[in-house]
């Protein structure tokens, strides 16, 4: 694993936690901006796209659980 993979992993993990805690995208952006001050390691569109993908995965897991 390169050094660039670890921050990206941590970053995505934090987005997932905040999203599951019912934070919206602007709130998540504000929190991450404070946590990662001085680091230009993300683009706002990437946050939106990751949340959109995460939302689809959670939605799919919900339906899979209900089919059991």
pLDDT per residue as tens digits for the range 3-61 = 444 557 788 888 889 988 999 888 988 888 888 776 655 666 677 777 778 777 665 55
Euclidean distance between CA atoms 45 and 32, whole angstroms: 14
d(CA 41, CA 21): 23
The pLDDT of residue 9: 77
CA distance 36 to 33: 5
Domain ranges of the chain: 5-67
Decide if 19 contacts 48 (C-beta within 8 A). no
Is the entire prediction scored with pTM above 0.75?
Answer: no
Residue 1 reports pLDDT greater than 50: no
Q: Which residue has the tokens 């670890």?
A: 6
pLDDT value at residue 2: 44
Q: What is the pLDDT of residue 6?
A: 52
> What is the structure's pLDDT at 62?
47
Report d(CA 60, CA 27) in Å as an integer: 24
């Amino acid at each position: 694993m390169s050094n660039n993979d670890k921050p990206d992993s941590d970053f995505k993990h934090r987005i997932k936690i905040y999203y599951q805690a019912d934070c919206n995208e602007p709130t998540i952006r504000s929190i991450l901006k404070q946590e990662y001050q001085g680091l230009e390691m993300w683009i706002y569109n990437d946050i939106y796209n990751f949340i959109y993908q995460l939302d689809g995965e959670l939605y799919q897991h919900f339906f899979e659980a209900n089919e059991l």
